[in-house]
């Protein structure tokens, strides 16, 4: 019985097989209709676990955090915080 447990944990935590494990939320599609911080952060977490996240934004305006502040001068006019909370997502303007 104890040997079965150790064999199981050896297979579960084997470093050479870490990239072969399936994502927890693979095959789930999520529509992200949120703005600002909390909603996009929750969708980011789902994307990190393997869900396909599609962020819906207003055309020619986007998320409120995309542009950042009115006085800020960011690279390509894009707020670094917006890049941090929206990785691994698809974007569509509707």
Does position 67 have pLDDT exceeding 80, yes or no?
Answer: no
- Please check whether residue 4 lies inside any domain of the structure: no
User: Is 0.75 surpassed by the pTM of this model?
Assistant: no
Domain count, the chain: 1
- Please check whether residue 89 lies inside any domain of the structure: yes
- Rounded to whole angstroms, the Cα distance separating 6 from 11 reads 9
- Please check whether residue 6 lies inside any domain of the structure: no
- Rounded to whole angstroms, the Cα distance separating 33 from 56 reads 5
How much helix, strand and coil, in percent to the nearest 5, is found in the chain? Answer: 45, 15, 40
Burial 27-36 (b: 16+ CB within 10 A, else e): eeebebebbe
Higher pLDDT, 47 or 18: 47
- Please check whether residue 15 lies inside any domain of the structure: no
Domain that holds residue 73: 25-93
Q: In 3D, which of 63, 93, 89, 90 has the Cα closest to residue 78?
A: 63
- Please check whether residue 9 lies inside any domain of the structure: no
pLDDT at residue number 28: 93
């Amino acid at each position: 019985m104890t040997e079965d447990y150790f064999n199981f944990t050896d297979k579960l935590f084997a470093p050479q097989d870490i990239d072969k494990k399936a994502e927890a939320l693979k095959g789930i599609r999520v529509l992200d209709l949120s703005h600002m911080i909390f909603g996009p952060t929750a969708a980011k977490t789902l994307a990190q676990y393997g869900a396909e996240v599609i962020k819906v934004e207003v055309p020619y305006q986007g998320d409120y955090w995309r542009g950042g502040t009115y006085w800020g001068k960011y690279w390509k006019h894009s707020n670094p915080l917006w890049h941090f909370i929206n990785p691994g997502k698809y974007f569509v303007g509707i």
